[in-house]
Structure 1
Amino acid sequence: MIISIANPIYDAVFKYLMEDNRVAKTVLSALLQKEVAEVEMRKHEYTNGTRDKISMFRIDFGAKVRQDDGSLKLVLIELQKTWLETETLRFRQYLGTQYANPDNILKDNNPNGYGIPMITVYLLGHRVGEIEEPVLYVRHKSYNYDGVEVTKGMPDPFVESLVHDSIIVQIPLLHGRVNNRLVEVLSVFDQTNKDGNNRQVLNIDEDAYRGDAEMEHILHRLLAAASDSKLRQDMNVEDEYFSAIETRDTAIMKRDQRIAEQDAQLEEQSAQLEEQSAQLEEQSAQLEEQSAQLEEQSAQLEEQSAQLEEQRAALLFSAKAMKTAGIPVEQIAEMTKLPIEQIASLGIDR
């Protein structure tokens, strides 16, 4: 049977859900792949109350997790949920605050002041890059200089005080992929089940969880949230906020698109101007080359003219000498190819 439950992607609903100790154990056990025997929501939870930039919801849990040998290990679980994409600096700033918090130091039998081992969980309403896995486990290990894993003496409380493991959940990739306990638990976040007319509601087939007491309890909790007037009001406030964010982001997207188009046009114009400039430079180079060729030809012509003038002067000198020697003008003209009139006009040296 299809039932309508409150959408736990909303901060108000998620907080209401995780405040239930039994639900918190179920969700965290599925995430850690180990039994969470005890869990306590710590006194400070952080939400973006002003909602001036982006919705980010955080809850801290102290949990005792059963180890393979049956012992219980105290860990600090930092759960952060965001629906919109955000820069990682926000996550890092929050982690820095947690590392610096003296309340996160082990109190008993801890003379060296070691910190409580930390595990960070990110529930993301968006995808991360090209990663296809809906759930990503990022675990730290220690290696020696040669790249061989160090196991002796590990885990060490000093090392665990300085590093942490992470679990990243990409909610958009959860749809229709129920193939393990974690994905089964997280399937109540599957946004493909949103009601067509009201995104505050998910339509879930409760028969898919029949016989699973923990999942039935989660559905019962979300069913109760759907009928809670205070929670519905809180969801309306979140919707108003997201609507404003979507309007702002749409305006920013259109502005960025216009800027990108203008930049593309400017780049095209710049490319055209560069091409024209290159053509002009090429033409200028060609003109300079032609000018140099003309100058060279002019110099050659001047040289030839000088040579001709020198030859003419030599002929005139010879013609004058022959005329002075009494050689007939006609004979001189035949010999020098000079006009008779020009030879006749030459004076005779005495």
Structure 2
Amino acid sequence: MQKAKFPTDITRFRKYLGKQYLEESNIHLDEKTGKKKALPIISIYILGHNLEYNDSPVIHVKRDYYDHATKEKLIRKEEFIESLTHDSYIIQVPRLRRKHRNKLETLLSIFDQSNASKESKHFLDVLESSFPDEFKVIIRRLHKASASKELCEDMNMEDEILEELATQERLIAYERAEKEKAKVEKREAEEGKEKAEAEKERVEAEKVRLEKLLKQAGIEF
């Protein structure tokens, strides 16, 4: 889950994925063969910000197998491929629509940030009666969690960490801008110096040419 948008997000997500591939808990013992097998990984990204081009609230990235030469779609799944590649779901919370097109969008609308409580940005005003009975158990669990003092403390701590990260990102951006500005000014100064030298050489050459012409005309100076 990503609440704030930072330039380092993708690098951090890649490191997290790598960690999951190494995690021993994602490997199980096959009872039939007695051999260890890797569990398939499905990555789910819940974003508190929008992607640049796609406005779908839920984007499903699915893998298919194809014969490279014939472009034929291959039906049978392979353990080797399934263990080393993964499907993904990207959820853009700000794009969750009021009109939900399926059960998943209805469920995710519980987290619609437009329902943020006026008393605290950490809580959402969710009306249980607005959801199907099958989702009410989830809402009740969330209500129960929201009453936890430890959870409130964790959220406050998270806000402080996010603010600190945002400050660091702004400082990095500022330093980067200052370096770029310095580079531009240095380049302009060097180009200006080169132009001045070129102009000086041109004037000197013109002076020599005129002196030569004057001497040819018998004019001493």
2:40 and 2:168 map into 1 onto residues whose CA distance is 43
Relative to structure 1, is the Cα distance of residues 199 and 158 closer, same or farther in structure 2, using a 3 angstrom cutoff? same
Counterpart position of 1:38: none
Verify the 8 A CA contact 1:141 1:149 in the aligned structure 2: no
Equivalences for residues 180-195 of structure 1 within 5 A? 180-195=102-117
Counterpart position of 2:62: 139
Deviations 1:211-269 (A, max 9, x none): x221122222222333x3xx233222321331343155236526744762x45654564
2:101 and 2:155 map into 1 onto residues whose CA distance is 32
Relative to structure 1, is the Cα distance of residues 177 and 282 closer, same or farther in structure 2, using a 3 angstrom cutoff? farther
SS at match of 1:82: coil
Counterpart position of 2:73: 150
- Is the aligned partner of 1:171 residue 2:93? yes
Counterpart position of 2:53: 130
Post-superposition shift, 1:172? 2.2
Relative to structure 1, is the Cα distance of residues 269 and 163 closer, same or farther in structure 2, using a 3 angstrom cutoff? closer
Relative to structure 1, is the Cα distance of residues 88 and 162 closer, same or farther in structure 2, using a 3 angstrom cutoff? same
**226, 232, 240: which one aligns with 2:149:** 232
TM score, norm. by length of structure 1: 0.53
Counterpart position of 1:287: 203
Verify the 8 A CA contact 2:29 2:36 in the aligned structure 1: yes
Equivalences for residues 60-99 of structure 1 within 5 A? 81-85=1-5, 86-99=8-21
- Is the aligned partner of 1:300 residue 2:216? yes
Post-superposition shift, 1:180? 1.6
Identity %, equivalent residues: 26
Post-superposition shift, 1:187? 0.8
Verify the 8 A CA contact 2:4 2:162 in the aligned structure 1: no
Number of equivalences: 217
Relative to structure 1, is the Cα distance of residues 183 and 147 closer, same or farther in structure 2, using a 3 angstrom cutoff? farther
Deviations 1:269-323 (A, max 9, x none): 4465345324413421321321331343255357x99xxxxxxxxxxxxxxxxxx
Relative to structure 1, is the Cα distance of residues 237 and 99 closer, same or farther in structure 2, using a 3 angstrom cutoff? closer
Post-superposition shift, 1:147? 6.0
2:19 and 2:163 map into 1 onto residues whose CA distance is 30
Post-superposition shift, 1:194? 0.7
Verify the 8 A CA contact 1:106 1:116 in the aligned structure 2: no
- Give the counterpart letter for 1:130 in structure 2: Y
Relative to structure 1, is the Cα distance of residues 255 and 105 closer, same or farther in structure 2, using a 3 angstrom cutoff? closer
Verify the 8 A CA contact 1:175 1:191 in the aligned structure 2: no
Verify the 8 A CA contact 2:42 2:88 in the aligned structure 1: yes
1:225 and 1:257 map into 2 onto residues whose CA distance is 39
Verify the 8 A CA contact 1:114 1:158 in the aligned structure 2: no
SS at match of 1:137: strand
Greater strand proportion: 1
Post-superposition shift, 1:117? 2.5
1:251 and 1:163 map into 2 onto residues whose CA distance is 34
RMSD: 3.2
- Higher Cα Rg, which structure: 1
TM score, norm. by length of structure 2: 0.78
Counterpart position of 2:128: 206
1:105 and 1:177 map into 2 onto residues whose CA distance is 41
Ranked by relative contact order (alpha carbons within 8 Å, sequence separation 6 or more), the top structure is 1
Counterpart position of 1:328: none
Post-superposition shift, 1:189? 1.1
Deviations 1:34-67 (A, max 9, x none): xxxxxxxxxxxxxxxxxxxxxxxxxxxxxxxxxx
Post-superposition shift, 1:163? 1.4
